[in-house]
Amino acid sequence: MMITENRSIEKTGITRKQAHQIFLDHDLSIATFDRRLRSGAITSYRQPDGIQLFPEAEVRAATQRIIVDRKGKRKTSQRKAKPVEMPLTGVTLHPITVEAMPDLAPVIHDTFGSAPNVARWQELIREHPNLGVILQREDTQQIVGCGFDYLHTEKKIQHILESEITPPTRTSDLLSPEAGQRVHLYLRTYGIIPTATRREKRHWAMLLVRHLTRYLEDLGKQGVILEKIWSRSETKDGINILRHAGFTQVKSKTSYRNYMIDVPLSGLPICERYEHAYQEYLRQHSGEVG
């Protein structure tokens, strides 16, 4: 019985070189063979003359198990693959107009939880046409975001930041951009509709920051002396927009988070754009601005 068994083993045994070749023929590496040997998936024995042999059936069975396992992993990977992202719908920036306020009001309510006084805000826009922007879909004309830019004194802004309920802004509270005038900028109602996807919010927030950059550059071109930029928010999206723009969080006495940029000290690109435009204004109007 033992003789028959030994003859059977000797008949089916192959050398290490032959075993390696079987793995290579199946696009499997020699290192993979060695790992299967160490794990016990493939065994070996030695002939009386000391030559190490490997059962051919075990070697071939090991290659088939590896191939089947890898096919299964590929299928699982395909099932977990992320869906192909659809192109973003075209969205453009437009100045906020008196006519847009009735459509913008429900967007502000859905985004920030409170509805604006449409008539009062329309009055502000009439007096200050460049008060902010809306984000609007090109296909449906739906408003998906907005941002208001208020030029104030620092005293007015501190009053806003210290109030739990945002106090109303009157036309007399807003400053007009004039050469040589020192102003503080307060960003109000910067946000994206809550139903937007994460990808849309990220892209649309970049558009709002791009608007802010151009707005600051325009202030510099007009010779306006911008000292600080302020804002506050309690929404995740609003906070993300401010952080993306480079704002620093400062102390707050309310449930809001307050943010600020000290323009003369800042090295942010948006502030450098402003400073470059302002210095260009000074060169063109030497001695006119203090």
Where among 51, 80, 109 does a domain terminate?
Answer: 80
If asked whether residues 141 and 167 sit together in one domain, one would say: yes
Q: Is the pTM above the cut of 0.85?
A: no
Where among 59, 80, 101 does a domain terminate?
Answer: 80
If asked whether residues 153 and 26 sit together in one domain, one would say: no
* Residue 20 is assigned to a structural domain of this protein: yes
* Strand 182-192 with 225-233, pairing: parallel
If asked whether residues 161 and 271 sit together in one domain, one would say: yes
If asked whether residues 66 and 15 sit together in one domain, one would say: yes
Burial zone of 179 (CB within 10 Å; 0-12 exposed, 13-18 middle, 19+ buried):
middle
If asked whether residues 43 and 137 sit together in one domain, one would say: no
If asked whether residues 52 and 129 sit together in one domain, one would say: no
pLDDT at 225 over 70: yes
If asked whether residues 119 and 62 sit together in one domain, one would say: no
For residues 180 and 226, what is the distance between their CA atoms, to the nearest angstrom?
10
Q: Show the domain range for 272.
A: 91-284
- Tens of pLDDT, residues 228-253: 999 999 888 889 889 989 999 999 99
> Is 229 in contact with 265 (CB distance < 8 Å)?
no
If asked whether residues 151 and 259 sit together in one domain, one would say: yes
If asked whether residues 18 and 159 sit together in one domain, one would say: no
Instruction: Provide mean pLDDT across the span 18-46.
Output: 88
> Is 246 in contact with 222 (CB distance < 8 Å)?
no
* Residue 290 is assigned to a structural domain of this protein: no
Of 289 and 169, which is predicted with more confidence? 169
Instruction: Provide mean pLDDT across the span 219-232.
Output: 97
* Residue 265 is assigned to a structural domain of this protein: yes
If asked whether residues 73 and 99 sit together in one domain, one would say: no
List phi, psi (to 5°) of 65.
Answer: -65, -40
Number of domain units in the chain:
2
CA–CA distance from 189 to each of 41, 73, 105, 113, 192 (Å)?
Answer: 65, 48, 11, 11, 9
- CATH number, domain at 161? 3.40.630.30
pLDDT band at residue 201 using 50, 70 and 90 as cut-offs = very high
If asked whether residues 139 and 268 sit together in one domain, one would say: yes
* Residue 177 is assigned to a structural domain of this protein: yes
* Residue 96 is assigned to a structural domain of this protein: yes
- Tens of pLDDT, residues 109-120: 999 888 899 999
Contact partners, residue 114, CB within 8 Å, separation at least 6: 108
* Residue 289 is assigned to a structural domain of this protein: no
* Residue 86 is assigned to a structural domain of this protein: no
* Residue 118 is assigned to a structural domain of this protein: yes
Burial zone of 207 (CB within 10 Å; 0-12 exposed, 13-18 middle, 19+ buried):
middle
Where among 80, 101, 136 does a domain terminate?
Answer: 80
Residue 77: predicted pLDDT = 52
pLDDT at 6 over 50: no
If asked whether residues 44 and 116 sit together in one domain, one would say: no
